[in-house]
């Protein structure tokens, strides 16, 4: 591989798009998402432009109506797309902005084909899975692969496609057939298949077993797809004889078999691939020799190593409804991690089920109730994330009240902001019936109301979704200063309810300031308590735009406030007139430009349990 030559633009105009397909075998949850993301990082480090597509074989049109317990968090994109959490992995790892079409589902494909049939586009033909569904899948992939996602003009050089589920699943069969046809159609040198499989170790004999992977590859080949690279998940690196055995029975060169063994933190995975020269195998299969440089991952290496060596803890309590599954709040966890690494603190998240804080639990489960409150009172900072429905709301209100009264740093996201407003109305304004019409439709004091443009009959895609602009009413507030004294910011939203604008004057008179509003000035976006060390609530979801090298400003503020660094952070930001961006060194964070504002120019989550940032998991 010629490390002295950069990619030639003319080459990619003349050549076809290159495709990398990532499939999974044996069991689900092996980490296909982080593998696809890491491949994207590696190819980008080689100087190639990368886009990614996630295929989800379920019948839902999108992830918007799924319970977090069912499929993890719903990730929201700039264009309002409600998509699988793996697209969050892609955006965070590769630092790109995807669209809703980068998430393909069976529901979307069938809906598009049926719409064509109803319009008469098939001219009376019998519409079948083959060729109509399979053709629609291939056309969708080719169309979306050409859309730039990195802010530059023209299509990417390589499109990485992740096929969700496990090879052999009934629901993924049309996609497997379509991808088999697709690999033949685009031709050799333009398609590379990376198969992620499991190499287990039986405790009885202590030997790495290859048979599950052999069967998985045999099934894959029987469906018309042949792997070019094997990515083997295991506890420890594969032994030499195991690789040779896999090579012999799976017909994959030993040099193209890489080990994805357990690591101390997920940022080591791209480094693991580079160390095993996976980029050379990819470039050889895709015939990109001479057009890719040697990958540079210095910042990734520093970040991964710093994360491993952090000792000084910062303890954040997460008060939520879905604490039984950490993937329900994956982006929130990652935003906290990005901010804590930037502040050189070891993140510890204490999960508290909001229902356990409520008075009824004190009678029913006194031990759980006491444990929940003990965790809350031991917190350096408190975070209340978004959610829907009235279950556990009273517990969240109690958490906001505790943070307000005891001067504990607090960040409320979406519903977390709304319950802070409700708590303030009840406790400070002495309005005992203050509530949201989401929980009490005929509330006597509706301080949170249904948005006029919302739909009460259809659930999917009917919320206020995607990137929306928030204008700062004043720059003399913590939020604006954290965003680099911005006039406005663009953040992603997902909500149906909002603060009642008729009550805003009453709130502000009592000391609750609304420092950020939409372009009309009637929709409240950011609240602050000026006399509190850090009490901020936002209607949007800043976690969706946090990046490992560019932590969310508000999460950074929470972590800094929780460990006594907020003053110095704000002084640094204001002196540079920028929002802090993480340039990793062995010392404190240095500021840099922030792109979201306009400057004046499967870890196992357990209710009331712990999450440690260096635990190994399946998602970024």
Residues classed as catalytic: 414, 541, 543
Partner residues linked to 192 by β-bridges: 20
* CA–CA separation, 128 and 232 (whole Å): 36
CB 530 within 8 A of CB 487: no
- Is the separation of the CB atoms in 18 and 286 below 8 Å? yes
Cα distance between residue 344 and residue 347, in whole Å = 9
Give the contacts of 174 (CB within 8 A, at least 6 positions apart): 106, 109, 129, 130, 133, 134, 137
Number of CB atoms found within 10 A of residue 308's CB:
13
Query: Do 153 and 46 contact (CB within 8 A), yes or no?
Result: no
Q: Which alpha helices (H) appear in 343-469, and where do they start and end?
A: 359-364, 366-377, 393-405, 415-427
Q: Report the residue count for the chain.
A: 620
Q: In 235-341, which ranges are E strands?
A: 257-261, 313-320
| Burial readout 80-95 (b: 16 or more C-beta within 10 A, e: otherwise) | bbbbbbbbbbbbbbbb
The SS3 assignment for 76 reads strand
CA dihedral 573, 575, 578, 582 (to 10 degrees): -50
Q: Taking the chain, what is the end-to-end CA distance rounded to the nearest angstrom?
A: 29
Nearest to residue 32, comparing CAs of 221, 210, 260, 362?
260
3-class SS of residue 73: coil
- In this structure, how many other beta carbons lie within 10 angstroms of the beta carbon of residue 387? 23
Please report, for residues 52, 86, 197, 233, the alpha-carbon distance to residue 29 in angstroms, rounded to integers and kept in the order given: 19, 12, 10, 10
| Residue 507 backbone zone (phi > 0: left; psi -120 to 50: alpha; other: beta) | alpha
Q: Order of strands, edge to edge, in the sheet holding 488-495?
A: 597-598, 488-495, 464-472, 513-517, 524-528, 535-538, 410-413, 381-384, 313-320, 346-353, 610-612
């Amino acid at each position: 591989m010629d490390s002295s030559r950069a990619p030639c633009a003319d080459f990619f105009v003349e050549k076809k798009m290159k495709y990398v397909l990532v499939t999974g075998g044996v069991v689900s949850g092996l980490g296909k998402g982080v593998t696809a993301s890491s491949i994207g990082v590696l190819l980008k480090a080689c100087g190639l432009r990368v886009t990614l597509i996630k295929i989800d074989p379920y019948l839902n049109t999108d992830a918007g109506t799924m319970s977090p317990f069912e499929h993890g968090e719903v990730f929201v994109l700039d264009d309002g797309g409600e998509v699988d959490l793996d697209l969050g992995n892609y955006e965070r790892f590769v630092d790109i902005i995807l669209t809703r079409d980068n998430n393909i589902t069976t529901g979307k494909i069938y809906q598009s084909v049926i719409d064509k049939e109803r319009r008469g586009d098939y001219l009376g033909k019998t519409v079948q899975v083959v060729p109509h569904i399979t053709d629609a899948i291939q056309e969708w992939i080719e169309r979306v692969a050409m859309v730039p996602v990195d802010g530059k003009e023209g299509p990417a050089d390589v499109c990485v496609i992740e096929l969700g589920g496990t090879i052999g699943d009934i629901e993924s069969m049309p996609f497997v057939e379509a991808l088999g046809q697709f690999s033949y159609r685009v031709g050799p040198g333009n398609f590379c298949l990376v198969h992620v499989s499991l190499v287990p170790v039986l405790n009885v004999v202590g030997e790495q077993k290859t048979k599950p992977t052999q069967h998985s590859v045999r099934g894959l080949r029987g469906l018309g797809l042949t792997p070019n690279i094997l990515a083997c998940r295991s506890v420890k690196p594969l032994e030499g004889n195991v690789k040779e055995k896999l090579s012999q029975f799976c017909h994959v060169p030993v040099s193209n078999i890489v080990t994805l063994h357990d690591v101390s933190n997920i940022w080591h995975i791209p480094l693991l691939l580079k160390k095993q020269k996976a980029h050379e195998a990819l470039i050889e299969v895709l015939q990109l020799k001479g057009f890719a440089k040697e990958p540079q991952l210095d910042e990734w290496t520093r970040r991964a190593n710093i994360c491993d060596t952090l000792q000084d803890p910062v303890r954040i309590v997460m008060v939520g409804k879905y604490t039984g599954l950490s993937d329900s709040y994956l982006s929130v966890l990652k935003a906290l991690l990005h901010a804590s690494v930037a502040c050189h603190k070891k993140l510890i998240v204490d999960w508290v089920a909001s229902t356990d804080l409520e008075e009824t639990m004190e009678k029913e489960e006194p031990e759980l109730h006491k444990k929940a409150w003990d965790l809350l009172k031991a917190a350096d900072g408190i975070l209340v994330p978004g959610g829907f429905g009235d279950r556990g709301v009273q517990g969240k209100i109690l958490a906001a009240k505790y943070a307000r009264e005891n001067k504990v740093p607090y960040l409320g996201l979406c519903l977390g902001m709304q319950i802070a407003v409700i708590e303030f109305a009840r406790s400070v304004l002495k309005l005992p019936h203050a509530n949201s019409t989401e929980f009490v439709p005929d509330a006597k004091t509706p301080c949170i109301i249904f948005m006029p443009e919302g739909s009460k009959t259809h659930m999917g895609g009917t919320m206020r979704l995607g990137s929306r602009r928030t204008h700062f009413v004043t720059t003399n507030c913590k939020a604006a200063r954290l965003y680099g004294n911005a006039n406005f910011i663009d953040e992603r939203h997902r909500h149906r309810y909002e603060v009642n604008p008729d009550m805003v004057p009453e709130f502000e008179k009592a000391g609750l300031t609304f420092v950020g509003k939409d372009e009309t000035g009637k929709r409240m976006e950011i609240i602050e308590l000026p006399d509190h060390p850090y009490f901020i609530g936002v209607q949007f979801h800043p976690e969706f735009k946090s990046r490992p090298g560019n932590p969310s400003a508000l999460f950074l503020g929470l972590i800094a406030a929780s460990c006594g660094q907020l003053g110095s952070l704000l002084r640094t930001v204001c002196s540079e007139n920028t929002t802090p961006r993480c340039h990793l060194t062995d010392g404190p964070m240095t500021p840099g430009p922030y792109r979201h504002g306009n400057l004046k120019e499967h870890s196992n989550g357990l209710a009331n349990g712990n999450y440690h940032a260096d635990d190994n998991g399946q998602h970024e």
